[in-house]
Amino acid sequence: MDSQKLNPVDRIAELVSGSENFVLQGGAGSGKTETLKRVVQKVLKANPSLRIVCITHTNKAADEIADRISGDIKVSTIHSFLGQIISPFKKNIQQVFPKLFELPDFVALGDNHYNGDEKVRKKEEHDRFKKAHGQLENRRRTVLGEDTAKVIGKREYDKEPDTYIAQLNGLIGEVNGEIRDNLAARQPNEFFYNDTAFDNFNDPSYGHDGLIALACHIFESFPLLGKIVSDRHDCIFIDEYQDTSADIVRVLLRCLPEGAKTIIGLFGDSEQAIYSDGIGSVQSHIDAKELILVEKEDNYRCSPQVIDFSNKFRTDGLKQDVALKSLDDGALETLESRQGSVKLVYDLAPEEIDTGDKAEDRKTNTALFRGALDVLVEKTASDYPGYVQLKLTNKSIANDVGFGRLYQIFDDRYSEPRDRMRKTLDRLQFGELIDLVALYSRLPGDRRSYNRLIAKLRKRGSSITSVVDKAKLEEMLHSFGSNDRAAYEAIEYAAECGLIRVSDSHKAFVDRRNEVLAKLAGDPVFAEFEELHLNGHRTKLQMSKEVAVTNMKHISVEVLEQEYDDRLNDLKQKNFLDSLFSAELALGQVLAFYEYEDSEGEFSTMHKTKGTGIENVLLVVDEYGWTTEYDFKSCFSKENPQSRREIASRKLLYVASSRTKKNLVCVRLMKSQEEADQISAFFPEAIKL
Element (H, E) at 583: none
pLDDT of 603: 43
pLDDT of 605: 47
pLDDT of 622: 86
pLDDT of 488: 96
Q: What percent of the residues of the chain are helix, what percent strand, and what percent coil, each to the nearest 5?
A: 55, 10, 35
| 665 beta partners | 343, 618
Q: Please say whether the beta carbons of 376 and 389 come within 8 A.
A: no
Closest to 431 in 3D by CA, of 593, 300, 310: 593
pLDDT digits 0-9 by tens, 28-39: 999 998 899 999
Three-class DSSP labels, 103-146? CCCCCCCCHHHHCCCHHHHHHHHHHHHHHHHHHHHHHHHHHCCC
**Helices of type H across 384-536:** 395-401, 404-411, 417-427, 430-441, 447-459, 467-479, 487-496, 504-521, 524-534
**Rounded to a whole number, what is the distance in angstroms from the first to the last CA of the chain?**
56
Contacts (Cβ under 8 Å, ≥6 apart) of 116: none
How far, in Å, CA of 380 to CA of 622, rounded? 15
How far, in Å, CA of 218 to CA of 224, rounded? 9
How far, in Å, CA of 10 to CA of 13, rounded? 5
Ramachandran category for residue 475: left, alpha or beta (phi over 0 → left; psi -120 to 50 → alpha) = alpha
How many C-beta atoms surround the C-beta of residue 236 within 10 A? 23
Closest to 525 in 3D by CA, of 543, 545, 549: 543
| Cα maximum dimension of the chain | 91
Q: Please say whether the beta carbons of 28 and 614 come within 8 A.
A: no
Closest to 417 in 3D by CA, of 433, 399, 394, 439: 394
pLDDT of 463: 65
How far, in Å, CA of 239 to CA of 250, rounded? 16
Closest to 71 in 3D by CA, of 92, 43, 95: 43
Which residue positions in the chain have pLDDT lower than 70? Answer: 1-5, 70-71, 274-276, 392-396, 442-447, 449-450, 459-469, 482-483, 599-612, 625-628
How many C-beta atoms surround the C-beta of residue 91 within 10 A? 10
How far, in Å, CA of 107 to CA of 124, rounded? 13
Q: With b meaning 16 or more CB within 10 Å and e meaning fewer, what string describes 372-407?
A: ebeebbeebbeebeebbbbbbbbebbbeebbbbbbb
pLDDT of 628: 66
Closest to 28 in 3D by CA, of 661, 660, 658: 658
